[in-house]
Structure 1
Amino acid sequence: MTASTRDPQTFATVRVCAVTARGAVRAGNEDAVLALDWISQSPRARVSDLTTAWTPPLACAVADGLGGHSAGELASRLAIADLANRYIAWDGPRAVHDGVVAIGHALHYTAARQPGTAGMRTTIAGVLLTGDGAYVFNVGDSRVYRITDGYLEQLSVDDAGPGGATVTQCLGDPPDAPLVPHVAHAPLDPAGARFLLCTDGVHGQLDERRLRAICRAPDARALVENLRDEVYAAGAADNLTAVVIDVLPRG
């Protein structure tokens, strides 16, 4: 049974370990990451390890600019920066839904101003930590998982065509194609919680059995380092981004 997370004494800290980097094939990094108040689009695969007091709302997210589309690198960076400015006002599922739609529309109108950015798009997947628990949101095929005692459970919903080869909706799509973000509430266990966010450069590069095995690592930093190393060992055909969030109890 899950206790109410409105009690400010339930949790003590939030630890976030994150990496975003260029893979072995692409010339640049079209992924971007928000980890608490830190934003990165680094080409180098260095793991950042951040800790903050439990002072919700707090947010983490990953975005993957569509490869082969105009300005995919810019699209993911703009979406993550816009999210960082907006999420503080999100207080429930409707606010999260409407906020993600607003980010998508803003990206579309920004893209339309210059020929070089016309049509730029990005996926997004994130976790908003609030006094009511966690709100998980996504558009596209970037993912959010919950890890419980080493068990991996996908909470996001892939927007992908048959075989996962095509993405069926993204931030930046024209407003006449209604954007339908996936938003779900995930209660937080008083004993703590762990989430994994990643782009398809991670979950698409590793088979499900290997991904599940890596996620049994007890330490957040080791988990992210292992994901990074396994993706490069498998060829890193795409850019890669992974974020592990640990919500840690008091005591």
Structure 2
Amino acid sequence: MGALKGKTALVTGGSRGIGREIAERLARDGARVAVHYGSNDEAAKETVTAIEGAGGQAFALRAELGVPGDAQALWAAFDEQADGLDILVNNAGIVEAGKPIAAVTPESFDHVFAVNAKAPFFITQLGLPRLRDGGRVVNISTGLTRGAATPELISYSMTKGAIDVLTLTLAKELGPRGITVNAVAPGVVDTDMNAAWLRGDAETWKAVAAESPFNRVAKGDDVADIVAFLASSDSRWVTGQWIDATGGALL
């Protein structure tokens, strides 16, 4: 508690799933958290209320990603409620599931790249003048870019490959400012996004759990706790890293 006191954090896609867990954890550590969301007002309100109810500070900001002007709209909303940034977590993303290469259309390809790769690139670009020296950038990647190839998630996986390159390159560029840039790469996590195919089938749940030596399915806080370390001063000598957060599923 208090490791991030006085800091301001922005978590994209921070109202649900892994993003909400990250937002709540950073708030517990003392940060004032900007909870970005795309359309679900109720989920954003619930997240902010939960953070405040636990004694933390948060505010919601709405901006649809994957559309023209998305990064500008996000920062305009941020600037209305904060005057600087210490921690940027690029978490928001969508999955184009069930589409091997033969089924991917130019439209679906462009959309997933617009949300998962283009948006975080320009959110980061426009955020850098706001990001204080000694700040932190944490990008959410995936185990699918390192040895867990999944044909039906090809376009999604490619977007995260772009995030991995963004992480490496920015780490080198921003190092002179004392800013660290790292990527956290989860495997399958028990979230609302995965609920339809994961929670409703006992055999699927068992198979996913068996991928990890711990023989369980990840929860959102398993990822959020790693992000919290990377957001803290304890990670000051860690940058440009791809952190395997698959619970050993890639072993």
Length-normalised TM-score, structure 1: 0.34
- Determine which structure has the larger strand proportion and give its number: 1
Instruction: Answer 1 or 2: higher relative contact order, Cα 8 Å, separation at least 6.
Output: 1
